[in-house]
Structure 1
């Protein structure tokens, strides 16, 4: 059963460690990461999505001077995602990426997450939102690149579970990564980052936009050609209050979802 294991990453490949393993805290150090460079490189090298969120805080898990885990706390695409927390949206964050290498013992996740939360409290952060994605991903050839997960580690860290987020349709590229709705929006409006999004589609097989060609029309023509549509019924949504006042304010937790061994949807 997946509930007896925790997920790890290396080189975009997932693996699992038995949940009963204990970390030796004296062998590890948690420290803020200055700037995006180290965090971005680590996540793009190991996480299945190969994408980096709009970071506000970044923390590294170090062992013997080597970076073996990264947590990135980010700004959600929509501030309404933080509506369950009191105060201004700027006082709360999303756990945008949380990646540990495959040789970190199982309960390293809860230990690392706890140290990050301590640091965020010192910065005045009062709430943390996170999502777990239960929908597996495969390449166009059917090779599994992500098995899906229900947030077992968030449950172990006493998160408040608030059900599924909004259903949506994913556009999967041939390598199994998602071409996000936000990336599509950047292309249409030529917002910051649109060139990277265009390059993703070109790498997937679309021709480069011709000089003078409207990007909106180019996207509409080629996105269906280089991607597969997959219906997603919503990520699992978890909340943490970092202060007693905020914990009292949060709605009650719904029953935690459990992994059944069947394909999630």
Structure 2
């Protein structure tokens, strides 16, 4: 059996973009669009929020969200738009709440809550451009109501402030600092750990967990392998060492490395009133939320 070697990848440094503004961001077929929040247009009488099954949530998220991936999910909700003239309601937004890769993501910030039951991670929140301004705050509030009724007392959401591009220079993730979270009574608790991302040619991220699945041949490894093959990696040979094949695959698709100072972390304490919310203890200090992106030189090698 051959020994896996640490791959050497080219670095890519991209500045963050200033999206802490009055614009509402939407994603449709993984393409961003914006509208002014002050323009409004949202009429709650035309919208409902319903629990969503796994297949429908996954299909919508992969089709529209810039990450083009679907995470582990505990609870899923859909935002439906109803027409004044009748007809079937249209799914125009999805929120996914679930389990992070490590329980410490939850316990370090919400130490008194049982992870994955009383505390969850908001792992996907995406609305299409069919939703008018101010839709997201109403949708998020309804999701929190449903979660509270199910016994959830805390939710963590992350905002990724670093843009990403594919190999052709097309922007695949614009970066954001969590404007919607700041506007909906969240608490900012700083950044998550800095890291280095593996950036695939299409601008999506090959996460460490996906790499681990291939190396250990765990459930889901075929999906990751097929993704790399579709981007130009060789088909694994029978009996080959998975770690060695992964090294060859990453070289073949020319994976880039992107330095990332860490995503912004926001916390929602859930309760029927302010007193109940304040009983949820935080394991991290509250900090002033970010107003602008980091200067580009902070990403220099």
Same structural fold, with TM-score higher than 0.5 when normalized by the shorter chain: yes
- Answer whether contact 1:240 1:247 (CA < 8 A) is retained: no
SS in 2 for 1:89: coil
- Answer whether contact 1:151 1:236 (CA < 8 A) is retained: yes
**Larger relative contact order, structure 1 or 2 (CA cutoff 8 Å, min sep 6):** 2
Cross-structure match for 1:130: 157
Cross-structure match for 2:288: 255
Distance in 2 of aligned mates of 1:247 and 1:215 = 49
Residue of 63, 70, 91 corresponding to 1:67:
91
Distance in 2 of aligned mates of 1:247 and 1:224 = 50
Cross-structure match for 2:45: 26
Spell out the pairing of 1:40-119 with structure 2 (5 A cutoff). 40-64=58-82, 65-83=89-107, 84-85=109-110, 86-90=112-116, 91-119=118-146
Distance in 1 of aligned mates of 2:81 and 2:212 = 39
Distance in 2 of aligned mates of 1:261 and 1:127 = 28
Length-normalised TM-score, structure 2: 0.84
Distance in 1 of aligned mates of 2:45 and 2:158 = 30
**How many aligned positions are there?**
264
| Structure 1 residue 260, shift from structure 2 partner | 4.9
Q: Of the two, which has the highest radius of gyration?
A: 2
Structure 2 unaligned regions, length at least 5: 1-17, 83-88
Length-normalised TM-score, structure 1: 0.95
Task: Provide the aligned C-alpha RMSD in A.
Answer: 1.6
Distance in 2 of aligned mates of 1:261 and 1:66 = 38
Task: State yes or no: 1:182 paired with 2:213.
Answer: no
> Deviation digits for residues 94-123 of structure 1, max 9, x if unmatched?
001000011211211010000000000110
- Answer whether contact 1:160 1:252 (CA < 8 A) is retained: no
> Deviation digits for residues 24-56 of structure 1, max 9, x if unmatched?
1001111111x3111011011101111001000
Distance in 2 of aligned mates of 1:78 and 1:88 = 13
85-94 vs 169-178, greater mean Cα deviation: 85-94
